[in-house]
Structure 1
Amino acid sequence: MNTAPSITDTLTNMFNQSIQVISKPSVATFEQFENKGTLREAVIYVLTAGIIVGLLNWGGGFGGFLSGIIVTIIGFLVFTYLVHYVGKSQGGTGTLDNVAYTFALFWVPISVLTAVLNLVLIVTLIGILLIPLLMIASLVVDVYFAYLAVQSSMNLRESGKIWITLAAAFVGTLAITFVVAVIL
C-alpha cells in the first residue's frame, strides 16, 4: 500500500532540501529535488510558512493573520500555475508538480527570513527606515532563485523565454492577488 508521507516528514524533507537549494543555488541543485514532491507537498510547506509569517506579523489582528495566509496560498498557487502555463507556451516541458515543488523550496525560507528580519527592524526606530531595502533585497533574491527554478522545473534554457515566463507570472499574480486582497 502506497501512503503519502506524514506532514512532519514532508516539512522535514522540504526544509532539508531548502537548505541545499539556498546554500548551493544552481539549476543542478533544483534538479536534484524537482521530482521529490508534488503540488500537495508544496502547498503544505507554503501554508506552514504563511502561518509562521502571519504569527510574526500579528499586528493586523486575527483578520490580518487569516487574510495573510489566504493571500499567501492564492499568490503562490496563481504564480506557480502561471509559470507552468506560460512556460509551456515558451516550449517548457515541466509539470505543475515540478514547478510548485521547486518554487516552494526557495520561496518558503526566504519568506520566513524576510518576516523575521522585518519584525526585528520594526522593533527598532532606525530599522523602520531599512524595511524598504529589505523588501527590495528579498525581491532580488526571489527573482534570482525563480530564474534558476524555471530553468530546472520547466526545462527552459533561453534567457528571453525564462524572463517572459517570470514577468507574465508576476504581473498575473500581482493582479489576482490585488483583487483577492480587496475582496478580503
Structure 2
Amino acid sequence: MAEKTILTLVGSLRAESVNSKFAQIAAETAPEGTTVTTFAGLEEIPFYNEDLDVEGKVPAKAAELRAAVAAADSILFVSPEYNGTMPAVLNNAIDWISRPFGQGAAVGTLAAVIGTSAGQYGGVWSHDDIRKSLKVAGATVLDDAKLAVGGSYQRFAAVEPQDDVEVVDGIRGVVATLAAAELAAAN
C-alpha cells in the first residue's frame, strides 16, 4: 500500500505560532502509512494576479505550491481567525491553487480545516470561510473533520499544545479521518 500524504498550509506566519504547533502535532500523530508535511513559504507568494498566471510568468513559489497540492493526497488547513475571517496568506494560497478555474490543483483534493484563535470560538468563522472557498475551488471538503480551539492566549499560556491531551486527541482524530477518507477514495 502506498504512503498517503497530507500537506498542511498554516495561516499564521509567526515562527512560534500555536497554529504552527498544531501542524507539528498533526505530523507527529499521523497514523501509520500517512505522512504529514507543512508547506513552507506561503508569505513568499505574491498576491494572485491573472497577469502573472500565464506560462512563463507564474512566480516560482506559486508554482511550487500548486505542485505540492497536486502531489498530495489531501490538504489540512491550520488557521487562526483574523478580523472575523481567514488570514490573507491562506486566501491567496486558495486563489493560486484554484486556477485555472475547474482545473486547479485543488480540484478533487480532500481537505479539512483545524486551528486555534484568541476568540472564544477558536476561529470558526475563518474555518467556515476556508471550507467555502475550498469548495468553490473544487476541493472535496470533509466538513465533519474539524477542530476549533478557543481562547488560545489563555489556554496555551502555561501549557504547550503538544501537552494538552484534548488538543492532541482532537488533531489526531482529524488527521485519522482525513487519512481514512484518502484510503476510501483510493479504493
TM-score (norm 2): 0.30
Judging by fraction of residues, say which structure has more helix: 1
Comparing both chains, which one has the higher relative contact order based on Cα–Cα distances under 8 Å and sequence gaps of 6 or more?
1
Q: Which has the larger radius of gyration?
A: 1
Larger strand fraction of residues: 2
